[in-house]
Amino acid sequence: MSASVSSLSPAILNLIEHLPALQVAIPMLGAAFVAMMRNGLLAWFVSLIISLLMPIIALFLLHETFVNGIVSYALGGWAPPVGIEYRVDVANAFVLVIVSVMAAITLPYARKVVALEIAEENRSWFYSMYLLCLCGLLGIAITGDAFNAFVFLEVSSLSTYAMIAMGRDRRALVAAYQYLIMGTIGATLYVVGVGLLYVMTGTLNFADMAVRLKEIEETRPILAALSFITVGLSLKIALFPLHKWLPNAYAYSPTMATVFLASTATKVAIYLLIRFVYTIYGPSLELVETSAVTVFVILSLAAMFIASFAACFQKNIERMLAFSSVAQIGYITLGISFAVKTGLTGGLVHLVNHAFMKGALFMCTGAMMMRLGNVKLQAVEGIGRTMPITMGLFVAAGLSLIGVPGTVGFVSKWYLALAAFETGQSWLAFAIMASSFIAVVYIGRIVEIAYFREPKGAALLAKDPPPSMILPMIILVVACFYFGIQADLTAKTAELAADAFLSSAQGTWGAVQ
């Protein structure tokens, strides 16, 4: 505990000690509580309170890791490695902050769109599913136990399927079913991998596993476990070519679910993958020398280009943004596969940067959806005139997606390209630039349609959404620019997180106490 905290009363100290557990327990209990409500507004309010609480805990944990390094918490008092350990370093805390902050910004926005899209009797169910999903995502990020991570993975996935299925029309059911199949395959592969690891090492605790893996080194089951886990998680990440579920899931689920999932869900799976590759396998494998790195680079590049091109040909803005997400995931995995500090920082900082811009873009799109009924390209003709604020914010967030200097997108690109030059792979820097330029095409296309055509039909009567929706949009867009000019908070934390991962790959994540 840091000095500033020690002066507090014992009761609060006690509470602070259990913060890691509360981070997960509050949304979980909240979900059960909300499920019993019959009033949608009340359910929203409880979810809002919980969502606002989460970033406070997460930021506190982040602060703790700045001061103390690793925070270890034995769940239920059962000492690790037998009991479940919540093990938080800068890297997890960073992800916890991203997820919880995005949740807190999404909830104020959610009330109007949920009230519009989801029937009164289902609203509390929806919020209950949302809280479960939040609990699952935070759980994956916080836990230090491979099987516990699987449980939270399933908690988040199952609740996500339910949320998607509550979408506006019947296509949502198909989308949810697609995701259900893919997600289940992914989870199965993951648990097979974990099973193999358990058989070989006799432990499920990450830190313990890292130590024991070093003793048995590169045996075949261990490598098989890595491939199972990588492929399983890649399905959840929507790494190209395992992304097929994502565009439909984003396009047809309720707006609130799209906004929340697009800015958080895949990020957490990426975190878990980095945790496995760097922290658990890092000490025993020479990462850079494995051919897996080459595969990852190729898949990342394929995502960056093919998905970006696909985005240019979508007739629906939500699907376009979804394909853009697949491309952006490519940047993140590319950054990870550099396996140097600059690259990893670029990948990690893009987790938060992408959350800001995609959150903002999907919120704007949600507002259009609310006014126009759909977001096909014909529907948004001329809305630059009738919904000026929404469209202005869309363009601003779009500039960030393109990576114009002064926006967060540029910060990510800077790190990634710098890593390419530093590792002597100059051509990758040009590839990064080229793929980001494709964003000019698909964002520019929307700009031309929204500003250079006359509004007709619903677009004539459309107007900007109410302040409760505008405000979260503005906050995210301002974040896109603020953290593009003054990236201390995001980039430096990402650098520390990258340091944490890289040093854990040297086997310093600490043996079990």
- Residues making contact with another protein (CB under 8 A): 399, 402-406, 411, 413-414, 417-418, 421-422, 426, 429-430, 433-434, 436-437, 440, 444, 448, 451-452, 484-488, 491-492, 495
- Is residue 453 packed enough to be buried (19+ CB in 10 Å), middle (13-18) or exposed (0-12)? middle
Residue type, 487: A
Phi-psi region of 9 (alpha: psi -120 to 50; beta: other; left: phi over 0): beta
> Do 87 and 76 contact (CB within 8 A), yes or no?
no
Least distance from another protein to the Cβ atom of residue 475, Å: 20
CA proximity to 282, closest of 14, 89, 505, 497: 505
Using the minimum distance from each CB to another protein, give the nearer residue, 406 or 507.
406
Q: How many CB atoms lie within 10 A of CB 510?
A: 15
Calpha distance 47→108 (Å, rounded): 10
Quote the DSSP letter at residue 1: -
For 195, 215, 320, the CA distances from 208, given in Å and listed in that order, are 15, 11, 43
Using the minimum distance from each CB to another protein, give the nearer residue, 139 or 484.
484
Using the minimum distance from each CB to another protein, give the nearer residue, 39 or 426.
426
Instruction: Name the CA dihedral angle for 395, 396, 402, 406, rounded to a multiple of 10 degrees.
Output: 160
Using the minimum distance from each CB to another protein, give the nearer residue, 2 or 486.
486
Chain centroid offset of residue 512 CA: 29
Least distance from another protein to the Cβ atom of residue 327, Å: 15
CA atoms within 13 A on the CB side of 283: 21
Using the minimum distance from each CB to another protein, give the nearer residue, 285 or 395.
395
Least distance from another protein to the Cβ atom of residue 419, Å: 9
Residue type, 493: T
Calpha distance 412→403 (Å, rounded): 8
- Is residue 289 packed enough to be buried (19+ CB in 10 Å), middle (13-18) or exposed (0-12)? exposed
Calpha distance 429→289 (Å, rounded): 21
Using the minimum distance from each CB to another protein, give the nearer residue, 418 or 478.
418
Using the minimum distance from each CB to another protein, give the nearer residue, 208 or 381.
381
Q: How many CB atoms lie within 10 A of CB 48?
A: 18
Calpha distance 19→323 (Å, rounded): 37
Least distance from another protein to the Cβ atom of residue 423, Å: 10
Residue tagged 């916080």 (tokens)? 142
Least distance from another protein to the Cβ atom of residue 382, Å: 11
Using the minimum distance from each CB to another protein, give the nearer residue, 274 or 399.
399
Least distance from another protein to the Cβ atom of residue 417, Å: 5
Using the minimum distance from each CB to another protein, give the nearer residue, 129 or 420.
420
Least distance from another protein to the Cβ atom of residue 287, Å: 22
- What residues form DSSP beta bridges with 71? 88
Give start and end residues of each alpha helix (H) in 88-170: 90-117, 120-142, 146-165
Using the minimum distance from each CB to another protein, give the nearer residue, 78 or 452.
452
Least distance from another protein to the Cβ atom of residue 263, Å: 22
Least distance from another protein to the Cβ atom of residue 198, Å: 41
Least distance from another protein to the Cβ atom of residue 484, Å: 8
Tokens of 388: 């000026």
